[in-house]
Amino acid sequence: MRNIFGNLRDLVGYISNQMIHIKKTSKLAVGMTVAVAGTTTGVAFAASNTNAESLGLDEIYHVYYGENHIGSVEDPDEIDEYIEEQKNAAQARHNDIELVTGEEINYVRELVFNSDVESEKVMTNLDENLTFATEAVELLVNDQSIGYVKDIEMANKALNGVINESLPKDLQSNSFTFIKQKENKLILPKPMLEDMTKEEIEQSNEEEKTIVLPKTVTVKQDSAEIDVSFTENVVVTKDRVNPTKLLEVEQLTKLIKRGISIAKEKPVENESDIETIAKTNNLSTDELIDLNPGLDDVEIIQAGETIKVTQEKNFIDVVYTVEKTEEESIDYETVTKNSNEIYKGNEKVKQQGEKGKKVLTFKVTTKNGKVINEEKVIEEVVKEPKDKIILKGTKQISNRGSGQLGWPAVGGRITSKMGPRWGSYHKGIDIAGVGNRTIKSADNGTVVQASWDGAYGNRVVINHNNGFKTTYSHLSSMSVSPGQTVKKGQSIGQMGTTGRSTGVHLHFEVYRNGALVNPLNYVGR
């Protein structure tokens, strides 16, 4: 007998220092640990099946759901079969999602002298507590959960969606990668690691299923450089979650864009009760009191007092710099040159001006869709402007006529000659029937009259300083003034019907040495 207990003591001494962990093959991620216990003496030891049988020991399995012991069974296969049935039923409602148990199922094998299994208790516990979940990716900001999506790809797309809203269409992309997965571990892409400090890298890799995003991520897209800054602590983690909590990419994008709630101190503008202040700040009364515990017993808040409220805060800043080119015209210069070939007072355009062209290159920096800086970096003239050249006459106009009178109108016909008419004497000729009503000086001379003159209406009189004088009557308007020197053919007004007139025409008279003469004897056409 002493030898038997001696052997048992040796066996316990050898085994009690060892734990044998056996991973049991199961889709439910079930683990099994083997241990041996004496149910009456409290002695624990492990043994092989052969030794257990020779010692009269029974084999049982303790069932753990998460960290909770829910009973023991003789055969774990019956539990596996039950869980598999329940999982298949749940899986039918979530065809596109791989389900796992909400908590890990673990078995601990024990060898006992007297087995006392609790299969019914285990089944009851599972009926009450067994849930199914899916492996999901969660985005957290300052420990606030923003939401869950099915996988890393969807998380990256949601972040891309937020960034794209701050970018022009030609820079938008869904290919920016912020998180990757290697086997079952979350990692940061290599390009991101190059821009991170050693401390940031160590912090991001502290846990296998959790990654901390760096404060700034630089992405190059075509010729643009895009800086994505996370202004708060952004963490991506993997967790088991009820499938009903999973979001679509668009839903997570909206939640990220909305930002996080932060507490902010704010002065009260007008004396108000708690309910009114809460409503004004889009809070319930309970939420306002939670932020301000001291308001629990207060009914009225005085103007000027400071309270805490919440506000939505964006936690992603998107800054990008691009080069932008613009074409800009260059105004031409107007150059005036004197010409002794043109009479003084007259001008002539020798060369029409043409605008030039230059191309400007700017570096434009935009933050969250708003331009914050624009810097010109290159200015290149691609076409020089051409000056407009105006010739200004310097040639003096002689106030002395040549004696050869020109036709005072632009075309037209004589409608009435000089001589007796209607019981009186017509002192000149009438010209009408023109398309262009411009009236011209018959020769060089000096304007001695440009005014209203009774029956003549608007009348211009020119002294040609050579014995000749000409008059132009019934004008609708006059473009010269007394004392002005005019040259032959120069416009002096417009044909009209002012004064005593029967229609639009020019009444033209010629005087030589003070005596009225017949214009047709001196005027050539």
User: What pLDDT score does 18 carry?
Assistant: 32
In the predicted structure, residue 45 carries a pLDDT above the cut 90: no
Which pLDDT score, from 0 to 100, does residue 53 have?
A: 60
Is 338 a domain residue? yes
Do 222 and 307 lie in one domain? The reply is no
150 and 194 together in one domain? yes
Work out the pLDDT band at 1, boundaries 50, 70, 90: very low
At what angle are helices 76-91 and 119-129 packed, to 10 degrees? 20
Residue 350 or residue 267, greater confidence: 350
What pLDDT is recorded for position 357?
97
pLDDT band with cut points at 50, 70 and 90 for residue 31? very low
Q: What percent of the chain has pLDDT over 70?
A: 86
Co-location of 240 and 277 in the same domain:
no
> Which CATH number fits the domain that encloses residue 489?
2.70.70.10
Give the model confidence (pLDDT) of 133-177 as tens digits: 888 999 999 888 999 999 999 999 999 999 888 888 888 887 788
Q: At which of 115, 130, 145 does a domain end?
A: 130
**What tokens appear for 382 in the block?**
């691609």
Q: What is the pLDDT of residue 52?
A: 57
**438/490 Cα distance (integer angstroms):** 9
State the average pLDDT over residues 430-449. Answer: 97
Is the CB of residue 166 less than 8 Å from the CB of residue 322? no
pLDDT value at residue 116:
78
- Please tell me whether the overall predicted TM-score, pTM, comes out greater than 0.75 for this model: no
Sequence-distant (≥ 6) Cβ neighbours of residue 435 within 8 angstroms: 410, 411
Burial class (CB in 10 A: 0-12, 13-18, 19+), 439: buried
Tokens of 328: 């800009």
Instruction: Say yes or no to pLDDT of 7 above 80.
Output: no
pLDDT value for 168: 87
Does 426 share its domain with 502? yes
Domain count, the chain: 5
Bridge partners (DSSP) of residue 238 are: 137
Does 231 map to a domain? Answer: yes
Kindly report the average pLDDT of the chain as a whole number.
84
Statement to judge: residues 270 and 348 lie in one domain: no
Q: How far apart are CA 477 and CA 475, in angstroms?
A: 5
Q: Write down which residue in 395, 425, 451 finishes a domain.
A: 395
Domain-embedded: residue 400: no
Average pLDDT on 510-524 reads 95
**pLDDT of amino acid 43:** 34
Same domain for 375 and 412?
no
Q: Is the pLDDT of residue 29 over 60?
A: no
pLDDT for position 311: 72
Taking a C-beta distance cutoff of 8 angstroms, is the pair 210, 186 a contact?
yes
- Domain containing residue 355: CATH number: 2.20.230.10
Poorest-pLDDT segment among 79-93, 362-376, 383-397: 79-93
Same domain membership, residue 341 and residue 247: no
Instruction: Tell which residue, 322, 431, 336, has the closest CA to residue 377.
Output: 322
Regarding whether 492 and 412 lie in a shared domain, the answer is yes
Please tell me whether residues 424 and 362 are part of one structural domain.
no
Q: What's the confidence (pLDDT) of residue 170?
A: 82
Question: Which range in 94-108, 282-296, 396-410 is most confidently predicted, on average pLDDT?
Answer: 396-410
Same domain, residue pair 152 and 236: yes
Q: Which of 105, 130, 155 is the last residue of a domain?
A: 130
What pLDDT is stored for residue 484 in this prediction? 95
Q: Which domain holds residue 381?
A: 321-395
389 and 426 within one domain: no
Q: How many CA within 13 A on the CB side of residue 426?
A: 15
pLDDT at residue 207, as a whole number: 64
Output the CA angle 50-120-92, nearest 5 degrees: 105
Nearest to 116 by CA among 169, 60, 77: 60
The model's pLDDT over 466-502, given as tens digits with 9 standing for 90+, comes to 999 999 999 999 999 999 999 999 999 999 999 999 9
Percent of the chain with pLDDT over 90: 44
44 pLDDT band, cuts 50/70/90, is very low
207 in the same domain as 146: yes
Asked if pLDDT for residue 392 goes beyond 90, the answer is: yes
